[in-house]
Protein backbone atom coordinates (compact mmCIF):
# COMPACT_ATOMS: atom_id res chain seq x y z
CA UNK A 1 0.00 0.00 0.00
CA UNK A 2 2.88 2.37 0.69
CA UNK A 3 5.04 1.36 -2.25
CA UNK A 4 4.54 4.55 -4.23
CA UNK A 5 4.10 7.03 -1.38
CA UNK A 6 6.78 6.07 1.15
CA UNK A 7 10.50 5.38 0.92
CA UNK A 8 10.45 1.73 1.97
CA UNK A 9 14.20 1.46 1.44
CA UNK A 10 14.83 3.87 4.34
CA UNK A 11 16.49 2.01 7.22
CA UNK A 12 13.95 3.47 9.64
CA UNK A 13 10.96 1.95 7.85
CA UNK A 14 8.71 -0.17 10.06
CA UNK A 15 10.08 -3.60 10.84
CA UNK A 16 9.31 -6.45 13.19
CA UNK A 17 10.77 -9.42 14.95
CA UNK A 18 9.23 -12.81 14.15
CA UNK A 19 9.06 -16.02 16.16
CA UNK A 20 6.84 -18.77 14.78
CA UNK A 21 6.08 -22.37 15.65
CA UNK A 22 4.13 -24.70 13.36
CA UNK A 23 2.83 -28.04 14.60
CA UNK A 24 2.61 -30.65 11.87
CA UNK A 25 1.53 -34.25 12.42
CA UNK A 26 4.92 -35.43 13.68
CA UNK A 27 7.13 -32.34 13.81
CA UNK A 28 7.40 -28.82 15.11
CA UNK A 29 8.88 -26.34 12.65
CA UNK A 30 10.23 -23.08 13.99
CA UNK A 31 11.36 -19.77 12.48
CA UNK A 32 13.01 -16.83 14.24
CA UNK A 33 13.99 -13.51 12.73
CA UNK A 34 15.44 -10.72 14.87
CA UNK A 35 15.50 -10.36 18.63
CA UNK A 36 13.06 -13.02 19.81
CA UNK A 37 13.43 -16.31 21.65
CA UNK A 38 11.81 -19.71 21.37
CA UNK A 39 12.01 -21.89 24.48
CA UNK A 40 11.06 -25.55 24.07
CA UNK A 41 10.32 -27.69 27.10
CA UNK A 42 11.70 -30.98 25.86
CA UNK A 43 11.02 -34.44 27.22
CA UNK A 44 13.76 -36.32 29.07
CA UNK A 45 15.84 -33.18 29.75
CA UNK A 46 15.79 -30.79 32.67
CA UNK A 47 17.03 -27.81 30.68
CA UNK A 48 14.88 -26.47 27.86
CA UNK A 49 16.06 -25.94 24.30
CA UNK A 50 16.50 -22.19 23.75
CA UNK A 51 16.74 -20.75 20.25
CA UNK A 52 17.54 -17.05 19.87
CA UNK A 53 18.48 -14.84 16.97
CA UNK A 54 21.23 -12.86 18.68
CA UNK A 55 22.69 -11.14 15.61
CA UNK A 56 21.33 -7.72 16.57
CA UNK A 57 22.74 -8.06 20.10
CA UNK A 58 26.15 -9.05 18.70
CA UNK A 59 26.22 -6.06 16.35
CA UNK A 60 24.87 -3.75 19.03
CA UNK A 61 27.41 -4.80 21.67
CA UNK A 62 30.15 -3.01 19.76
CA UNK A 63 28.20 0.27 19.73
CA UNK A 64 26.41 0.59 23.06
CA UNK A 65 29.19 1.37 25.55
CA UNK A 66 28.50 5.11 25.72
CA UNK A 67 24.73 4.65 25.99
CA UNK A 68 25.03 1.98 28.71
CA UNK A 69 27.25 4.22 30.84
CA UNK A 70 24.54 6.91 31.12
CA UNK A 71 21.45 6.97 33.36
CA UNK A 72 18.34 5.93 31.42
CA UNK A 73 16.03 8.82 30.71
CA UNK A 74 18.70 11.50 31.09
CA UNK A 75 19.12 13.88 28.14
CA UNK A 76 22.56 12.41 27.52
CA UNK A 77 21.16 8.88 27.45
CA UNK A 78 18.39 9.92 25.08
CA UNK A 79 20.96 11.42 22.70
CA UNK A 80 23.24 8.37 22.97
CA UNK A 81 20.28 6.04 22.38
CA UNK A 82 19.33 8.01 19.27
CA UNK A 83 22.90 7.70 17.96
CA UNK A 84 22.91 3.98 18.79
CA UNK A 85 19.65 3.39 16.89
CA UNK A 86 20.98 5.30 13.88
CA UNK A 87 24.17 3.23 13.93
CA UNK A 88 22.20 -0.01 14.09
CA UNK A 89 20.08 1.06 11.14
CA UNK A 90 23.23 0.90 9.04
CA UNK A 91 23.53 -2.81 9.91
CA UNK A 92 19.86 -3.74 9.43
CA UNK A 93 19.08 -6.29 6.71
CA UNK A 94 22.67 -6.46 5.55
CA UNK A 95 25.20 -9.27 5.36
CA UNK A 96 27.34 -9.14 8.47
CA UNK A 97 24.56 -7.30 10.30
CA UNK A 98 21.17 -8.49 11.47
CA UNK A 99 17.85 -9.18 9.80
CA UNK A 100 14.28 -8.09 10.55
CA UNK A 101 10.94 -8.52 8.81
CA UNK A 102 10.32 -5.43 6.74
CA UNK A 103 9.58 -4.34 3.19
CA UNK A 104 12.40 -6.48 1.78
CA UNK A 105 11.10 -10.05 1.37
CA UNK A 106 14.69 -11.32 1.09
CA UNK A 107 14.98 -10.92 4.87
CA UNK A 108 12.88 -14.07 5.25
CA UNK A 109 15.71 -16.06 3.67
CA UNK A 110 17.91 -15.02 6.59
CA UNK A 111 15.61 -16.37 9.30
CA UNK A 112 16.84 -19.09 11.61
CA UNK A 113 14.76 -22.23 11.06
CA UNK A 114 14.60 -25.78 12.29
CA UNK A 115 12.48 -28.80 13.01
CA UNK A 116 12.15 -31.00 16.08
CA UNK A 117 10.08 -34.15 16.59
CA UNK A 118 6.75 -33.10 18.09
CA UNK A 119 6.69 -35.96 20.61
CA UNK A 120 9.85 -34.59 22.25
CA UNK A 121 8.27 -31.23 23.18
CA UNK A 122 5.84 -30.74 26.06
CA UNK A 123 5.43 -26.97 25.83
CA UNK A 124 6.78 -23.93 24.03
CA UNK A 125 7.27 -20.28 24.93
CA UNK A 126 7.55 -17.65 22.20
CA UNK A 127 9.05 -14.46 23.61
CA UNK A 128 9.93 -11.02 22.33
CA UNK A 129 13.18 -9.60 23.70
CA UNK A 130 11.17 -7.47 26.11
CA UNK A 131 9.67 -10.61 27.65
CA UNK A 132 12.87 -12.64 27.65
CA UNK A 133 14.86 -9.92 29.41
CA UNK A 134 13.91 -11.39 32.79
CA UNK A 135 16.38 -14.17 31.88
CA UNK A 136 18.81 -12.89 29.27
CA UNK A 137 19.34 -9.31 30.44
CA UNK A 138 18.31 -9.22 34.11
CA UNK A 139 19.32 -12.81 35.04
CA UNK A 140 16.51 -12.93 37.62
CA UNK A 141 15.30 -16.34 36.47
CA UNK A 142 16.55 -19.24 34.42
CA UNK A 143 14.88 -20.52 31.26
CA UNK A 144 13.56 -23.49 33.28
CA UNK A 145 12.09 -21.17 35.93
CA UNK A 146 10.54 -19.05 33.18
CA UNK A 147 8.82 -22.09 31.66
CA UNK A 148 7.56 -23.10 35.11
CA UNK A 149 6.27 -19.55 35.71
CA UNK A 150 4.45 -19.56 32.37
CA UNK A 151 2.99 -22.99 33.07
CA UNK A 152 1.73 -22.05 36.52
CA UNK A 153 0.73 -18.40 36.05
CA UNK A 154 0.71 -17.58 32.33
CA UNK A 155 2.25 -14.82 30.20
CA UNK A 156 0.67 -11.95 32.16
CA UNK A 157 2.67 -12.88 35.27
CA UNK A 158 5.91 -13.09 33.29
CA UNK A 159 5.32 -9.62 31.88
CA UNK A 160 4.33 -8.30 35.31
CA UNK A 161 7.67 -9.50 36.69
CA UNK A 162 9.55 -7.95 33.78
CA UNK A 163 7.81 -4.63 34.49
CA UNK A 164 8.58 -4.93 38.19
CA UNK A 165 12.28 -5.41 37.43
CA UNK A 166 12.31 -2.55 34.92
CA UNK A 167 10.65 -0.17 37.40
CA UNK A 168 13.08 -1.22 40.14
CA UNK A 169 15.95 0.03 37.95
CA UNK A 170 14.36 2.84 35.98
CA UNK A 171 17.72 4.57 35.37
CA UNK A 172 19.44 1.45 34.06
CA UNK A 173 22.12 1.41 36.74
CA UNK A 174 21.84 -2.30 37.56
CA UNK A 175 20.89 -3.38 34.04
CA UNK A 176 22.10 -0.93 31.40
CA UNK A 177 19.72 -0.91 28.44
CA UNK A 178 18.49 1.24 25.61
CA UNK A 179 14.88 1.37 26.74
CA UNK A 180 13.88 1.55 30.37
CA UNK A 181 10.61 -0.23 29.43
CA UNK A 182 10.63 -2.51 26.42
CA UNK A 183 7.65 -3.94 24.57
CA UNK A 184 7.00 -7.42 25.91
CA UNK A 185 5.07 -10.18 24.20
CA UNK A 186 4.83 -13.77 25.39
CA UNK A 187 2.87 -16.78 24.19
CA UNK A 188 2.90 -20.12 25.95
CA UNK A 189 1.44 -23.29 24.49
CA UNK A 190 1.13 -26.81 25.79
CA UNK A 191 1.52 -29.45 23.14
CA UNK A 192 -0.75 -32.46 23.09
CA UNK A 193 0.86 -35.66 24.29
CA UNK A 194 1.48 -38.15 21.52
CA UNK A 195 1.91 -41.86 21.94
What is the layout of strands, in order, in the sheet containing 121-128?
49-52, 36-42, 121-128, 186-190
Summary mean pLDDT of the chain: 91
Q: How many CB atoms lie within 10 A of CB 134?
A: 26
Residues 145-160 pLDDT 10s: 999 999 999 999 999 9
Average pLDDT for 133-154: 97
Backbone angles phi, psi at 173, to 5 degrees: -80, -45
* Segment 110-125 mean pLDDT: 96
Q: What is the pTM of this model?
A: 0.88
The span from the CA of 61 to the CA of 98, in Å, is 13
Q: What is the pLDDT of residues 46-89, one digit of tens each?
A: 899 999 999 999 999 999 999 999 998 899 999 999 999 999 99
Return the closest-CA partner of residue 84 out of 43, 118, 42, 56: 56
Amino acid sequence: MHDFTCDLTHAGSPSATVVMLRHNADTLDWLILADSALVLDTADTTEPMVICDDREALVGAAHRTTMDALPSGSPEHVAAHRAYVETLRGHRNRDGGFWVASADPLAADQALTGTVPAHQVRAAALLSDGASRLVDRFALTTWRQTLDLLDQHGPAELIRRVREAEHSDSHGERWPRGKALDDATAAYCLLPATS
